[in-house]
A and B are shown apart, each in its own frame.
Chain A
């Protein structure tokens, strides 16, 4: 396949960025999107040009590091995949592909397609945990049976990979899906219920301080989420938040 790539280039956080057009030839449909980017970078290096910076690590859809906005969609046109799992067979010969970083005020650009998502870490640090020491002196793992349905729902929420596609897809750059996934995971489990009140209040407070927008229930986040995290989690967090606010 021969393709035209329009890629956002920006030297560093403070500099002004712009779209740059490149051509790439002999792309195999079996390549992953990032392998196509590798090939493109190899060609830039051969020409003595600066390769395009992008985040990536596991290349199997689980670490959450890759983060491109491709043709107007986080992680590109396929569903339930990250950019690293997207394959070139989803494109056609002659296509123009527009590649941008995840854009949000709370995700400042570091270089080209690389953004700073440490705001997500800070939200987790505000309450995304169960306050139990790692001493190993806890009770036996089977001492509290957990309803399988609740355990399964907690697991589904916990599969969030923290990539930020929800924020990038939201017109308000809201992080509600991300935050609600963690709040839901714990609120569905007896171990997490103990400090549910503080957790939701603290995490939402931090989320607001980081500059993420509000949720207006458009559901774009759910559509673009590579792990299919359900909007139901946002409803659950709202409920948790209301209860906590009344208590607090």
Chain B
């Protein structure tokens, strides 16, 4: 079994990446034509990697389960993308972005990877502008920035509340150029079913064509997994309905270590759950915390009056409101990092101050911002700054220009006008920092198998800062993987095409077919969603925003029992040789049922609190997360050994050479 070697290059932190690029082996342009690479997933990481690999001259085969690569869930990212451009002249630098990311991740990410990320961040913005991505600009025609949680500078580039869409369409356009040239062969509506290893190396995948059910074999010299995170293990999350862990889980079962599965981001500002029928949750961008103030009433009687409809949010006087983030964290206020903001909302709601019927909602209020912008506009236009109606109208216009699409989304879902009344929000599962373990080259513990973007674990530690997911996806895909992969492939220039007639492909295909057949023939009584919802509830109740030993032990045995029941009593309608969404979902939920248990096991093992992982047993007297650096400054990398309960823990000790490890404080 592979040894856990992170392959961090020698030298000082700021020189590692430059030196590494000069030292690694390259594949000549003529030889690149002889090499095939498979990319699974077409979000920011997968699309950018596919495009760049194809430009470099490799033959790329790219797969996505959606009907078009443009649908990947990166499209839904709202607020922005970070880059250390320092266009605002507010003291930003590569080092500061690096420092903020390490601190934001609560000192549980790998220093060298994060520094590289900060280093290439500026290239991303140049690249995207050159591709025609329409970022927001000011009246002088230059790029505009805004601020995100956990930082004290404005380094976030954005395109209204649709930054992910614009960046993904940029990467999609770069892919399209290569598809048109025949350098990328695109497989839409195809799901990866397994990874095939030949002589211990990743040499291809088995796929299922989701239109006709056909099982196909695809050979390649390397396989890149870019299939995103596993937030849907919670059933309710801000992920897309189809987002799944299966590609990552299949490679885990073939030997790739899975790192820090319990590191999950619960995002503070999502639209609260409205009922049992709910199929997914919708995020309201963190960028809203630039202008929105979060509060709950100070008095419990006001809470009661609001819940029973006797009072409205706007009826509560200023002095009766508890702006609890501003109160608890004066330095960062409403822009504390996500894990901190989420826990603070939960604390208030648990104490009985939640403002909707379920008691699980707080206010995000724009009245102050509307007033401030309105006065500013009135002043600029030489109008009466004391005319309240005019100021409100002018202020709303500014807010509409900044966040219009988000306000419209809110209004359509909740049926309330957020320009007039505060939004109601509550935390929801959003992102997973954990993922497939990779070394500095982004290679997993399987030779020739890589993981990029949210699918890997490397850059965000125990908590990701806002607007950094887009940065990491594009950094991995455009600027890191295409170069590091050459080092591995330089040994493969004489290998020739990978045949799919081998015994390894044969048996992998048979396993896939057997599992599909078992699902179809299992005439149980419950649908896939029945199990997925049950799993989600266990995860949310016992592995959610706050975790403890008893709950985690219960989760482990409950998930195991649920998994056994799933294989006994699952009902999948239809056949395997046709368009069958139930069958596709059954495979994904089967993998979630294994991952969920490993998740709980990982959370149980890590008895400290750090970032998004909050163990009730490890907190300060003020209720803040308390790390245990002496015993837990490591990455948990789990090796598959059959059942999740027998997974073996390997530790990658994290060494901080540049940064002094401190208590994370946003006060």
Contact = CB atoms under 8 A, between A and B. Distances in A.
Contact of A62 (B76, B124, B131, B529): B76
Contacts of B211: 110
A64 B282 CA distance: 16
Contact of B412 (A38, A85, A161): A85
A216 interface: no
A213 interface: no
Contact of B143 (A48, A130, A142): A142
Given A57-B66, A87-B413, A159 B162 contact: yes
B76 A63 contact: yes
A159 B55 CA distance: 26
Contact of A155 (B120, B159, B279): B159
B412 A155 contact: no
Interface string B422-453: 00000000000000000000000000000000
A78 B250 CA distance: 42
Interface residues of A, number: 77
B236 to A, nearest CB: 11
Given A121-B176, A129-B174, A155-B159, A58 B73 contact: yes
Given A142-B142, A154-B134, A134 B127 contact: yes
A86 to B, nearest CB: 8
B581 interface: yes
A57 B240 contact: yes
B93 interface: no
Contact of B73 (A11, A45, A46, A57): A57
A85 B73 contact: no
Interface string B149-184: 000000000011010111001001110110110000
Contacts of B136: 151, 155
Contacts of B126: 136, 138-141
B560 interface: no
Given A125-B176, A148-B141, A118 B279 contact: no
B579 A42 contact: no
A56 interface: yes
Among B132, B159, B162, B571, chain A packs the most CB atoms within 10 A around the CB of B132
Interface string A147-176: 110010011001101100000000000000
Contact of B180 (A125, A133, A147, A159): A125
A38 B186 CA distance: 30
Interface string B60-99: 0000001111111101100000000101000000000000
Contacts of B127: 132, 134, 136, 138
A145 B179 contact: no
A35 B413 CA distance: 12
B129 A185 contact: no
B658 interface: no
18 contacts: A12-B578, A30-B274, A38-B279, A57-B71, A57-B242, A59-B279, A62-B76, A62-B162, A63-B72, A63-B75, A63-B240, A111-B579, A121-B188, A124-B173, A129-B174, A129-B177, A131-B177, A154-B134
Given A51-B581, A148-B139, 7 more contacts: A32-B413, A49-B573, A62-B162, A87-B415, A134-B51, A136-B126, A159-B165
Interface of A: 11-12, 28, 30-32, 34-35, 38-39, 42, 44-46, 48-51, 53, 55-65, 78, 80-81, 85, 87, 89, 110-111, 114, 116-118, 120-121, 124-126, 128-136, 138-142, 145-148, 151, 154-155, 158-159, 161-162, 185-186, 189, 191-192
